[in-house]
Amino acid sequence: MSTRPDGLIAVVKQDCPTCTRIVSVLRQLGKRTSALAVYTQDNPEFPSGIATVIDDTSLAHSYRLGIETVPTLLRFENGKEVARAIGWHRGEWESVSACTHLGASLPSSLPGCGSKSAEPGVPEKLAIQFGKTKLAARRIAIGALEDEIEACFERGWTDGLPVVPPTEERILHMLTGTTRSPDEGVGMTPPNYSACTVEKVAINAVLAGCKPEYLPVVLAAVEAALAEAFGMHGLLATTFFAGPMIVVNGPIARNIGMNARINALGQGNRANATIGRALQLVIRNIGGGVPGGIDRAMLGNPGKYTFCFAEREGDSPWESLAVERGFSPEASTVTLFAGSGVTPVMDQASRDPDALCRSFAACLKADGHPKHANSPPPVLVISPEHTRRYADAGWSKARFRNTLNRYLQIPIAGLIAGAGGIAEGISKERTKEKETMPKFRDNALHIVRAGGDAGLFSAIISSWGGSQPITKEIVP
């Protein structure tokens, strides 16, 4: 970019009432200094009576000068900007221009209007045309007669539902959602261990239908999925049902409008739906994890399209999942979990907390198989009405967990292979000198509160043994 000549630059548009009112000021400045250039965004004839009016209908100058509001007055010295006034403010204009008694007939200040270079969708177009940041991804030409959405299907980029075609404008817009550089590495993506960059995640977030403000959540979820302990490769390769499930904690869930209430595990909320989908598309497109390829799930589960929800924290009597996992309540986090679908728990009769614990335990004991013990801990999604039973009785989350774990100790006799006429079960050798075994490994049940106000139901989300849950803090 060539350096600009020293002097004053005013950026205006005729469509702005303030710009039309300050034409007299521009004329004043034009008379007092020869070094005034007026850049006009909409009408090259506007304003009249000024020696140097530069046609900026292409908005190239406005983009490069970073103009957000018109009028803007700038002063350049030695090729560099040294002062800027936004909108009309007499004091500021006099300071920037080093001229006095400007616009005596005008009010001391008038707000400006939005720059044409800042209108929706325009910054991305200008960035492509005039900007320095170029995206690295391969360009794929789509024929004039080809439908873009069909083209995405034909190239195998979708989960079976239509995706949003990833144009450069949409990707640049998506990248406004993060402060991270497009070329920053996020990790190696299983199963092919292909390099994953912020840009590639953003492209898949476009496909999934995300808004830019969801991108930091998607990036954190991808980082969690790439953590070795999560075991994403194995999670694909297993014939079991599970796929990555995302629980979002902290203020970001509310800020981006995630659903933690009615139908929290279901359809209908854009953030829930598209964040979970973006993660799956990253695994598919960047990692190469495709059903029938490395993804060997015998049945899979509908959550493999998308499985993402927020914990209902605001009115919760208990600390959240993220706080239990060592994060501050003010932190925004994702916790990734290998989720195998939703099993209902129905208890509409228990009135005291202990009875409800027995009920939960009875249902949880059937997780996977009633004769399995030391199983991978599932997520118990406890509803507000069930939580209230404990809150009303003054039970902490720790007391709830401890009581539940006591009832989840299973007498060995019924677990042994062959017992009850059922071949499935644990071998006798594993049971030496024990009378009971815990249903879940390390008694480490994950407890998350979510759901609508009404309904004495909760939900068990089964896990998969090869994966450990991973929590990552979401960074802007």
Partner 1 sequence: MSELLDPTSEQKSAHRERVKRPRSLDGLTIGLLDISKSRGDVFLDRIASHLTRRNYAVNRYVKPTFTRPAPIALQQQIAAECDVVVEGLAD
Can you say how many angstroms the Cα of residue 389 is from the centroid of all Cα atoms in its chain? Answer: 33
**155 makes contact with partner 1 (CB under 8 A):** yes
C-beta separation of 188 from 136 below 8 A: no
C-beta separation of 439 from 365 below 8 A: yes
**200 makes contact with partner 1 (CB under 8 A):** yes
Q: Residue 212 Cβ, how far from partner 1 at the closest point, in Å?
A: 16
Q: Residue 175 Cβ, how far from partner 1 at the closest point, in Å?
A: 12
Binders of partner 1: how many residues, by CB under 8 A?
33
Contacting partner 1 (CB under 8 A), which of 57, 167, 350, 436?
167
C-beta separation of 278 from 204 below 8 A: yes
**171 makes contact with partner 1 (CB under 8 A):** yes
**194 makes contact with partner 1 (CB under 8 A):** yes
Q: Strands (DSSP E) along 146-242, which ranges?
A: 185-189, 194-197
Among positions 247-286, residues that touch partner 1 (CB under 8 A) are 281, 285-286
Q: Residue 267 Cβ, how far from partner 1 at the closest point, in Å?
A: 24
- Partnered with residue 426 across adjacent β-strands are 416
Contacting partner 1 (CB under 8 A), which of 60, 106, 137, 331?
137
Instruction: Provide the residue type at 138 as one letter.
Output: R
> What would you measure as the largest C-alpha separation in the chain, in angstroms?
102
Which of the stretches 77-85, 130-138, 348-356, 419-427 binds partner 1 when contact is defined by CB under 8 A?
Answer: 130-138
Q: Residue 183 Cβ, how far from partner 1 at the closest point, in Å?
A: 14
Q: Residue 317 Cβ, how far from partner 1 at the closest point, in Å?
A: 43
**465 makes contact with partner 1 (CB under 8 A):** no
What is the C-alpha separation between 446 and 307, in angstroms, rounded? Answer: 16
| Closer by beta carbon to partner 1, 289 or else 339 | 289
What is the C-alpha separation between 267 and 280, in angstroms, rounded? Answer: 16
Q: Which helix (H) or strand (E) holds 436?
A: strand 436-438
**162 makes contact with partner 1 (CB under 8 A):** no
Which of the stretches 18-26, 58-66, 104-112, 192-200 binds partner 1 when contact is defined by CB under 8 A?
Answer: 192-200
Neighbours of 424 (CB within 10 A): 14
What is the C-alpha separation between 183 and 200, in angstroms, rounded? Answer: 9
Structure tokens at 64: 């490069």
**198 makes contact with partner 1 (CB under 8 A):** no
Contacting partner 1 (CB under 8 A), which of 154, 183, 184, 453?
154
3 state SS of 364: helix
| The pairing of beta strand 194-197 with beta strand 185-189 | antiparallel
| Closer by beta carbon to partner 1, 65 or else 172 | 172
**143 makes contact with partner 1 (CB under 8 A):** yes
| Closer by beta carbon to partner 1, 231 or else 287 | 287
| Closer by beta carbon to partner 1, 132 or else 139 | 139
**Which strands, in side-by-side order, build the sheet including 457-461?**
342-346, 457-461, 379-382, 446-449
Burial label for 457, CB within 10 Å (0-12, 13-18, 19+), is middle
| Closer by beta carbon to partner 1, 191 or else 353 | 191
| The pairing of beta strand 243-249 with beta strand 308-310 | parallel
Among positions 277-336, residues that touch partner 1 (CB under 8 A) are 281, 285-288
Instruction: Provide the residue type at 187 as one letter.
Output: G
Which residues of the shown chain bind partner 1 in the complex (CB under 8 A)?
Answer: 135, 137-144, 148, 151-152, 154-155, 157, 165-168, 171, 189, 192, 194-195, 200, 203-204, 207, 281, 285-288
